Homo-oligomer: A and B are copies of this chain.
């Protein structure tokens, strides 16, 4: 299968051979799906059946609250898993939606099968479970990181905290973020025009610079 090339690049299956993958395909009730840009891959509130592995493209995780306000929780790219948090806990409904932000190829895996040892108690399954565990812990870190950003009181501080953490991740003062300005504001849960004003101010002060999704921070301004 040509899809295996994509699978091989994911953290959850990177150490799994094509043969083993074939064997697990049945075990996990694997299904492949293609989605166009803006198509809804998973709809919030629907019963949880699968965990979604993004193989190609990228997608937005969105949450809609009881007042109808939509929050951009995060953006996922190839290799990321959606719905991981529903494993091990009897969560009946997806808590967020997953929407393709560009054409996507995804792989669906049955959430129960993924963690239920198969009949032959195969070694590969153990590896997958261990990888899953690591990924959940990683998600945990990502959530903590976002929490720290949203814990900042002002928009200015949120912006700086986010950009700083992105530059740390990139290992450079020059980096791209996955969000355009509208999405950026949504991600930080602030008003778009207010974000625009704050960004302009920071640029004027020489603390940051940006163009489209490309940013640069003046590291000196971030020292203590």
- Show the binding face of A for B, using Cβ within 8 Å: 63, 65-67, 71, 73, 84-85, 87-89, 91, 95, 133-134, 136-141, 143-144, 146-148, 150-153, 161, 189-191, 224
Measured CA separation A18–B182 after assembly (Å): 56
User: Are B71 and A134 interface neighbours, CB within 8 A?
Assistant: no
A-B contacts, 20 of them at CB < 8 A, read A63-B148, A63-B151, A66-B224, A71-B151, A73-B147, A84-B140, A85-B141, A88-B134, A89-B137, A95-B144, A133-B133, A136-B136, A136-B137, A136-B140, A140-B143, A143-B147, A147-B150, A150-B150, A150-B189, A153-B190
On chain B, the residues within 8 Å of A66 by CB distance are 224
User: Are B133 and A88 interface neighbours, CB within 8 A?
Assistant: yes
The smallest C-beta distance from A25 to any residue of chain B, in angstroms, reads 24
Measured CA separation A224–B151 after assembly (Å): 27
On chain B, the residues within 8 Å of A147 by CB distance are 73, 143, 146-147, 150
User: Are A85 and B140 interface neighbours, CB within 8 A?
Assistant: yes
Interface residue from B133, B134, B138, B151 paired with A189 (Cβ < 8 Å): B151
CB closest chain-B residue, reference A188: B151
Given the known inter-chain contacts A134-B89, A136-B137, please indicate yes or no for A151 contacting B150, CB distance below 8 A.
yes
